[in-house]
């Protein structure tokens, strides 16, 4: 039982960077823009957060500047794809590669520097509930914020007028344009939101999860977040489930390895590859045209909007 609580607790922390980056990308893709640059934006957020926190001694400032750095990266992407109408896939990949290189360059002097990470914040009363309190209410403040953001995004997309407009833009940009909405403006804002969230996700890694900087520190989490959006079939709730599931699998396999149970016969590499396998399956399913509607893929995802 004790072990199970520890696993669940670790699962929640492991899912946070994926959830944050995934939510940002979800809103971005709902508006019809495919941004493959999450990894790059996360890395820029991560390095900025660390450098600022070390230099200013303020974790808060680190988070703020990380969000700013992520937004700045996504602004480059928005300018290229939405204003200059460049190809989204190519621009997104370029953004990722750019972020990997630039963050390594910026962080060169900071590799291995020590930093005191964010303390946990126990919610009084709630954290004393047996079991649930231990699993849910003894985290750092960013964990609570992430779940707050999850509900906010869900509410925004499905229970607000602006959210409806965002979704409409992704479904049919010509129709949204006819209705008098500025497709480009909406998409730019959605892309910027994606950048903010990716920046925050990166900051979580360097300021909370493992408070240190090293090159390529996200280790592919940006790509996993991207895969999770597909895995979730563009629905926030499934995204949360997917992020938790991925966190759970990646944590549990560490526990299984050194135990002699029946599951330890499964190679660890298989567990590590599970989310990617699922994503491939989902991609195959949605490529069957009829199913596209059921899975709620934004119809105009990745398409360049040219006002007529």
Partner 1 sequence: MAFCGLFWAGQATADPLKVAFVYISPIGDAGWTYQHELGRKAIEREFGDKIETKYIENVAEGPDSERVIRKLASSGYDLIFGTSFGYMNPMLKVAKRFPKVVFEHATGYKTAKNMGNFSPRFYQGRYLSGVAAASKSKKNVIGYLAAFPIPEVIRGINAFTLGAQSINPKIKVKVVWTNSWFDPGKEAEAASSLIAQGADVVTHHTDSVAAVKTANDKGVYAIGYHSNMFKHGEKAQIGAVIHKWDKFYAKKIRQVLDGTWKSSSAWEGINEGMVDFVVTSNLDEKIASKIKDLRSDIVSGNFHPFTGPIHNQKGSKVIGAGEQLDDKDLLSMDYFVKGVEGKVGK
Does position 55 interact with partner 1 (CB under 8 A)? The reply is no
Q: Which of 121, 147, 181, 255 binds partner 1 (CB under 8 A)?
A: 255
In the list 87, 90, 132, 267, the residue contacting partner 1 (rule: CB under 8 A) is 267
Alpha-carbon span 16 to 300, nearest angstrom? 29
**221 belongs to the binding site for partner 1 (CB under 8 A):** yes
Question: Do residues 46 and 217 make contact, with C-beta atoms less than 8 angstroms apart?
Answer: yes
| Contacts of partner 1 in 101-140 (CB under 8 A) | 104, 108, 111-114
**By the rule CB under 8 A, 244 interacts with partner 1:** no
Minimum CB distance to partner 1, residue 308 (Å): 47
Q: How far apart, in whole angstroms, are the C-alpha atoms of residue 102 and residue 96?
A: 10
Among 125, 269, 288, 290, binds partner 1 (CB under 8 A): 269
| Binding status of residue 251 toward partner 1 by CB under 8 A | yes
Interface of this chain with partner 1, residues 156 to 215, rule: CB under 8 A: 205, 209-212, 214-215
DSSP designation for 213: B
Among residues 203, 151, 177, 189, the alpha carbon closest in space to that of 21 is found at: 203
Residue 69: which residues within 8 A CB-CB, separation 6 or more? Answer: 44, 45, 47, 48, 199
Structure tokens at 190: 């959605």
Q: Are 18 and 224 in contact (CB under 8 A)?
A: yes
Shortest distance, position 210 Cβ to partner 1, whole Å: 4
| 145 makes contact with partner 1 (CB under 8 A) | no
58 binds partner 1 (CB under 8 A): no
Asked whether the beta carbons of 21 and 222 are under 8 A apart, the reply is yes
HEC readout, 41-105:
HHHHHHHHHHHHHHHHCCHHHHHHHHHHHHHHHHHHHHHHHHHCCCCHHHHHHHHHHHHHHHHHH
Residue (118 or 176) nearer to partner 1, CB: 118
CA 74/CA 38 separation, integer angstroms: 9
Task: CB nearer to partner 1: give 41 or 186.
Answer: 41
Residues in the chain: 308
Q: Scanning residues 278 to 307, which ones bind partner 1 (CB under 8 A)? A: none
Backbone φ and ψ for 297, nearest 5 degrees, come out as -70, 130
Question: Which residues ranging from 4 to 33 are in contact with partner 1 (CB under 8 A)?
Answer: 6-7, 10, 14
CA distance 206 to 59: 10
Minimum CB separation of residue 60 from partner 1 in Å reads: 21
Does residue 260 touch partner 1 according to CB under 8 A?
yes
Using the rule CB under 8 A, is 144 a contact of partner 1?
Answer: no
Q: Which is nearer to partner 1, 38 or 251 (CB)?
A: 251
By CB under 8 A, name the binding residues for partner 1: 3, 6-7, 10, 14, 104, 108, 111-114, 205, 209-212, 214-217, 219, 221, 250-251, 254-255, 257-260, 264, 267-269, 272
């Amino acid at each position: 039982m004790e072990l199970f609580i520890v696993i669940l607790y670790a699962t929640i922390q492991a899912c946070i960077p994926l959830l944050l980056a995934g939510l940002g990308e979800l809103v971005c893709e709902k508006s019809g823009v495919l941004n493959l640059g999450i990894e790059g934006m996360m890395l820029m957020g991560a390095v900025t957060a660390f450098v600022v926190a070390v230099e200013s001694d303020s974790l808060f400032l680190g988070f703020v500047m990380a969000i700013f750095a992520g937004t700045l990266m996504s602004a480059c992407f928005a300018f290229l794809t939405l204003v200059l109408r460049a190809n989204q896939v190519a621009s997104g990949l370029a953004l990722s590669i750019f972020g990997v290189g630039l963050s390594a360059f910026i962080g060169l002097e900071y590799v291995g520097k020590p930093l005191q990470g964010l303390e946990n914040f126990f919610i009084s009363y709630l954290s004393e509930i047996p079991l649930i309190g231990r699993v849910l209410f003894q985290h750092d403040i960013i964990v609570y914020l992430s779940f707050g953001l999850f509900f906010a995004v869900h509410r925004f997309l499905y229970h607000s007028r602006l959210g409806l407009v965002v979704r409409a833009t992704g479904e049919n940009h010509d129709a949204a344009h006819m209705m008098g909405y500025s497709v480009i403006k909406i998409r730019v804002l959605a892309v910027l939101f994606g950048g903010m969230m990716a920046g925050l996700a990166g900051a979580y890694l360097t300021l909370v999860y493992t408070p240190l900087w090293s090159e390529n520190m996200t280790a592919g989490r940006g790509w996993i977040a991207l895969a999770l959006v597909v895995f979730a079939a563009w629905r926030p709730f499934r995204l949360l489930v997917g992020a938790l599931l991925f966190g759970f699998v990646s944590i549990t396999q560490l526990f299984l390895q050194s135990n002699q149970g029946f599951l330890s016969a499964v190679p660890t590499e298989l567990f590590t590859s599970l989310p990617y396998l699922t994503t491939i399956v989902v991609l195959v399913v949605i490529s069957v045209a009829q199913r596209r509607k059921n899975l709620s893929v934004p119809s105009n995802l990745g398409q360049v909007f040219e006002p007529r």
